[in-house]
Chain A
Amino acid sequence: MTTTATATAPVPVPGPEATALYDIPGPRTRRRHLIYGILSTVLIVALVGWILYLLFDTDQFTATKWTPFEYKGIQELLLRGLGNTLKAFAIAAVLSLALGALLATGRLSEHRVVRWVATLVVEFFRAMPVLVMIFFVFVALKVQPLPALVAGLTLYNGSVLAEVFRSGVNSVERGQREAAYALGMRKTQVMSYVLVPQAARAMLPAIISQLVVALKDTSLGYLITYEEFLHAGKLIASNLDYDLPFIPVVMVISPIYIGMCMLLSWFAYWVSKRQRRSPKTEAVDVAPAEPGTLLPGGGPPRAPGP
C-alpha cells in the first residue's frame, strides 16, 4: 500500500553483494539471471497491479472517501494529531536520555547495592512489553494518557539507553582509562573528561536508532486514547458519513509515519557512516543495544520495538 514513497531505502544499497554464495557470473549465467529478473519483475508488477485493482474494485478512490481530506477542519485534526505525536516523542526522548544516563551511572557505580538496584531496574524494564508498562501507569496508577504514554516510553527506552551508555563507556579503550587514572584523576573526572566524551560520539548512532523505536512507540498512545496521529485517523476512518475511509486514511497516514521514522533511521546511518571516518571515535566501538534480550553477548542486528 505504501511502497511508492520508499523505493530507495536507507537499508544498505541493494546492489549485488559479494557473498560466499556466488561467483562472478559468466555469460550464460548472466543470461539466465536476466530471464529470472524479467520473470520476477513481471510477478512483482502483477502483485502491485493486483493490489491497485483491489483498491479500485473496492471503491477506495471514490469522492466520498477522499473529500473529507479537503476540509480545513480535517486537516487541522490530522496536524494536531501529528503535533501530539511529536510532542509525546520529544518529551519521551529527553526523559529517556536522562533516565538512561542516571541508570547507566548506577550500573557503573562502585557501590554494590546501587549497581544491583540499577541492574535489576534495567533488566526488568527491558524484559517487559512497553505496552504493559503504559497500561499499568494508565490504568493502575490512574494517570492521564499523555503522562502515561511518556512514562511507559521513558521507562523502557531509558533502560535500553542505559545499556547503550554503559557499553559505550566500557568499550572505550582500556588504555585511556588507565592513563587518566595514572595522571591522578578521580573517578568523576575520568568519567566526565575522558570516557564519556569519547563514548558519546561513538554512541550517537545507537542512541538515534533507539529514538526511532521511541518514535514508533508513540503510536501506542492510540491504544490509551491519547489524541495522537493515529487516533485522529481512526476518528475520520470510522465515520459512516465519509463512507468509512479506512484505506484512504492508512494511505495518508502511513507515508508520513514511515517517512519520519526513515528520516531518523537514515540520520543514524549517516552519523555512523561519518564516524567511521572520524579519528575522534577510534578508541570506541559500540554495538547497538538490543532491547530486551536476556541472552549473553547478543549480536548486532537490532531487535524490533513495536
Chain B
Amino acid sequence: MDVLTDNFSTFGDGFLGTVELTVYASLLALALGFVMASFRVAPVGSLRVFGAVWVAVLRNTPLTLLFFAVLLGLPRFGLVLPFEVFAVLALGCYTSAFICEALRSGINTVPTGQGEAARSLGMTFSQTLSGVVLPQAFRSVISPVGSTLIALAKNSAIAGAFSVTELLGTYKTLNELGYSIIWTFVWIALGYLIITLAISAVFNILEKRWGVAR
C-alpha cells in the first residue's frame, strides 16, 4: 500500500507522462490518419498508392521496430529531438494507419446515392463533403476510432522502455528503491485501466450522442 503513498509523485509523473504521450500521439494520429484517408479516396492515382503503401507498411511493422528505427535511427540522420517527441512521432505514425482505415471504411459506408442526390441538388464538392458525406461518415467511425485510440494508450507503454517518462517505466525506479514489485504493478495496472476506461467513456458519450443506431 505504501508503494503508492510514498511514491505518489513518481506515479503521478508516470501517469501524466502516459496521458501526455497518448494525447499528443492521438492528435498526430488523427491528423495524419485523416490526410492518409483522404489520399486513399482521392481521385489521383499516385496519392492513392502513397496512402496504400503507408497503411500497408505501418500496419505490418512491429511497433517496437518502429520505435527502434525512429528513436535510434533518426538521430543517425542528424535529427536529434527529445525522446518524448520521437515517441509521439512513432506512436502517432503507427496509429495513423489504423485511423486511416477506420475513416476510409467510414466514408465507404455512406451510400453512393447520398452523394448523387447531393450533387443533383446542385451542391458543390465541398458542400457535399462537409454537409452530407462527412457527418454520416463521422457517426459510423466513432467506435472504431475509439478502440484504436485505446490501443494507442496501451501501446504507449513501449515508450517507457526507450527512456521516456511514462507509467510502466516507473517500475524501474521503484524496483531500485526496493519497494514491493507486485504492488507497484498493481498500481501501474490501475493507472492504465483509468486511462483506457476514460477514453472509452468519452467515446461512449460521443457514440450515444451521434453514433449510428445499430
Residue picked from B48, B59, B97, B125, most chain A C-beta under 10 Å: B59
Interface size class of B (residues with CB under 8 A): 35 or more
By the criterion CB–CB under 8 Å, are A127 and B196 in contact? yes
By the criterion CB–CB under 8 Å, are B204 and A295 in contact? yes
By the criterion CB–CB under 8 Å, are A132 and B192 in contact? yes
By the criterion CB–CB under 8 Å, are A131 and B161 in contact? yes
By the criterion CB–CB under 8 Å, are B55 and A9 in contact? yes
By the criterion CB–CB under 8 Å, are B151 and A60 in contact? no
By the criterion CB–CB under 8 Å, are B171 and A128 in contact? no
Instruction: Please provide the chain B residues from 85 to 140 with a CB less than 8 Å away from any CB of chain A in the complex.
Output: 94-95, 97-98, 101-102, 105, 107-108, 110-116, 118-119, 125, 128-129, 132-133, 140
By the criterion CB–CB under 8 Å, are A60 and B47 in contact? no
The CA of A33 and the CA of B42, in the complex, are separated in Å by: 10
Q: Min CB distance, B75 to chain A, in Å?
A: 8
By the criterion CB–CB under 8 Å, are B168 and A9 in contact? no
Q: B51 within 8 Å of A by Cβ? A: yes
The residue in chain B whose Cβ has the minimal distance to the Cβ of A218 is B62
The residue in chain A whose Cβ has the minimal distance to the Cβ of B146 is A295
Chain B facing A: main interface SS = helix
Chain A proximity mask over B178-189: 1 for CB below 8 Å, otherwise 0: 000110110011
Q: B53 within 8 Å of A by Cβ? A: yes
Interface size class of A (residues with CB under 8 A): 35 or more
Q: Min CB distance, A202 to chain B, in Å?
A: 20
By the criterion CB–CB under 8 Å, are A301 and B148 in contact? yes
By the criterion CB–CB under 8 Å, are B143 and A295 in contact? yes
Q: A278 within 8 Å of B by Cβ? A: no
List chain A residues, Cβ under 8 A from B68. Answer: 222, 230, 233-234, 250
Q: B1 within 8 Å of A by Cβ? A: no
Q: B16 within 8 Å of A by Cβ? A: no
Q: B173 within 8 Å of A by Cβ? A: no
The CA of A2 and the CA of B52, in the complex, are separated in Å by: 14
Known: A293-B146, A295-B147. A129 touches B61 (CB 8 A): no
Q: A303 within 8 Å of B by Cβ? A: yes
List chain A residues, Cβ under 8 A from B108. Answer: 17, 19
By the criterion CB–CB under 8 Å, are A257 and B119 in contact? no
Q: B13 within 8 Å of A by Cβ? A: no
By the criterion CB–CB under 8 Å, are A257 and B61 in contact? yes
The residue in chain A whose Cβ has the minimal distance to the Cβ of B55 is A11
Known: A223-B161, A293-B147, A302-B98. A247 touches B132 (CB 8 A): no
Find A258's partner among B57, B150, B155, B188 (CB 8 Å cutoff).
B57
List chain B residues, Cβ under 8 A from A129. Answer: 154-157, 168, 192
By the criterion CB–CB under 8 Å, are A304 and B72 in contact? no
By the criterion CB–CB under 8 Å, are B200 and A220 in contact? no
Known: A9-B52, A295-B203, A296-B204. A254 touches B61 (CB 8 A): yes
The CA of A127 and the CA of B191, in the complex, are separated in Å by: 11
The residue in chain A whose Cβ has the minimal distance to the Cβ of B199 is A294
Name 9 extra pairs, CB < 8 A, besides A10-B56, A17-B41, A219-B62: A17-B108, A23-B119, A36-B43, A220-B64, A222-B64, A230-B65, A230-B68, A292-B150, A293-B150
**What would 17 A/B residue contacts be, using CB atoms closer than 8 Å?**
A9-B53, A14-B40, A16-B45, A20-B111, A37-B45, A44-B50, A54-B77, A140-B184, A230-B68, A246-B72, A250-B68, A261-B60, A295-B143, A297-B143, A300-B105, A301-B98, A306-B155
